[in-house]
Amino acid sequence: MLTLFRIIKFAFQDMARNVGLSSMTVLILVLMLLSINTLVVINVFTNEAVKSIKDQIDVSLYFNYEATNEEINEVKSYVGGFPEVTEIIYLNRDEVLAKFKEQQKNNPEVLSALDELGENPLGPTMIVKTREPKDYEKVIQALNVPEYENIIEAKTFGDTQKAIDRIHIITTQVQRFAIGLSLLFALIAFLIILNTIRVAIYTQRIEISIKKLVGASNWFVRGPYVVESLFFSIASILIIGGLLWIAFRLLDPYTAIVFQKSNLLFDYYLNNRYLLIGIQLGSVLFLTVVSSLLAMRRYLRV
C-alpha cells in the first residue's frame, strides 16, 4: 500500500509540474469523446426518423360500397396470410363516413353535397401495415387479380422508400465525417500524451536514474505515468458526461417536437449507460496507457 501511495503521489506531482500539457491532454480527449458521442446521437436520430416514417405509411384498400362482408373477409384473410403483414385495420361504411366528415369539417360545401345524397356513398376501407416499406409493393401486386377487380375500387400507397434512402445517405456522410474527426482527435491525443509523458520523464531523467540505481522496479517507474493516464481517462469521461447531460437537457425539448418523444436522447443514454461508458472508457484508457508506455520505454534503462 505504501508503494501504491507513493506512485499516486508522484503521479500528481508530475501533473502539477506540467499542468498546461495535462489540461490540453484532457481537452483533446474530451473532443475525441464528443465526436464519438455525436456518432451515437446521429444513429439515434436516424433510427428514430426511419421508424417514424415507417409508422406513418400503409396501404389503404377502398372497397366498393356494394361489397359483401363475405367478400371483404375473403380479402382480409388473403392479405393476412402474408408473413410481411403485421396489422390490418378494418373500417366499416359508417366509420369511414364519420372519418370523412371529420376531415372535411371545415369544408361546408362538401358536407352539404354529402347530405343531399341522402345515403352513405362510401364503401368500407381496409388499412394494411407491413414490416418494411418495400413489402407494400408485394401486397399491392398480389391484389391485382381479376377476382378482386369488382370488390376493390382503389388502392393507395405512399412510397416513402426514397425518403428513407435519402435519410440513410445523409446520415452516412455525416457519420463518415464524425468518424474522421474522431480518428483525428485520437491521433492528436496520442501525440500530446506521448509528448506530455516524454517531457515529464525528461525533466525527471536524473530522478528516474537514481530510482533505478537503488533497485526500483520498472513498474515502480512506470506507475506514476500509468496513473496519469488513468486520471486523464477518468477526467475526460466525467467532463463529457457533464457536457452531455447539459446538451441533452437543451436538445430533448426540440427533439420531442419532431419525434413526439420526450427525453429521447436522455432516456437512450440512461438505458445504455453501462455499454456506452464501458466502450468510451476502454477506448480512452487503451489510447492513454499505450501512448504512455511507448513514451516511457526508452528511459527504463540506466
Query: How do residues 239-287 score in pLDDT, each as one tens digit?
Result: 988 888 898 888 888 888 877 788 888 888 888 888 888 888 887 888 7
pLDDT at 10 over 80: no
Determine the Cα–Cα distance for residues 202 and 204; give it in Å rounded to an integer. 5
Measured distance CA(74)–CA(169) in Å, rounded: 41
Question: Is the pLDDT at 205 greater than 80, yes or no?
Answer: no
* pLDDT reading at 110 higher than 60: yes
Locate the DSSP E strands across 69-201: 85-91, 125-130, 152-157
Give residue 302's pLDDT.
Answer: 43
pLDDT at 197: 67
Give the CATH fold of the 58-159 domain. Answer: Alpha-Beta Plaits (3.30.70)
Distance CA 27, CA 21 (A): 10
The pLDDT value given to residue 96: 79
Q: What's the mean pLDDT when you consider all of the chain?
A: 77
Distance CA 181, CA 186 (A): 9
Residue given cell 506512485 in the structure block: 7
Tell me the C-alpha distance between 147 and 85, whole Å: 21
Per-residue pLDDT at 206:
67
pLDDT in tens, 154-195: 777 655 556 656 766 776 777 777 777 777 777 777 777 677
Task: Determine the residue type at 240.
Answer: I
Confidence category of residue 52, pLDDT binned at 50, 70, 90:
confident
In 3D, which of 91, 147, 144 has the Cα closest to residue 122?
Answer: 91
Structural domain spans, the chain: 2-53+163-299, 58-159
**Quick one: what percent of the chain has pLDDT higher than 90?**
0
pTM: 0.64
d(CA 123, CA 138): 24
Task: With a cut of 80, say whether residue 129 has pLDDT above it.
Answer: yes
Whether residue 224 has pLDDT greater than 80: no
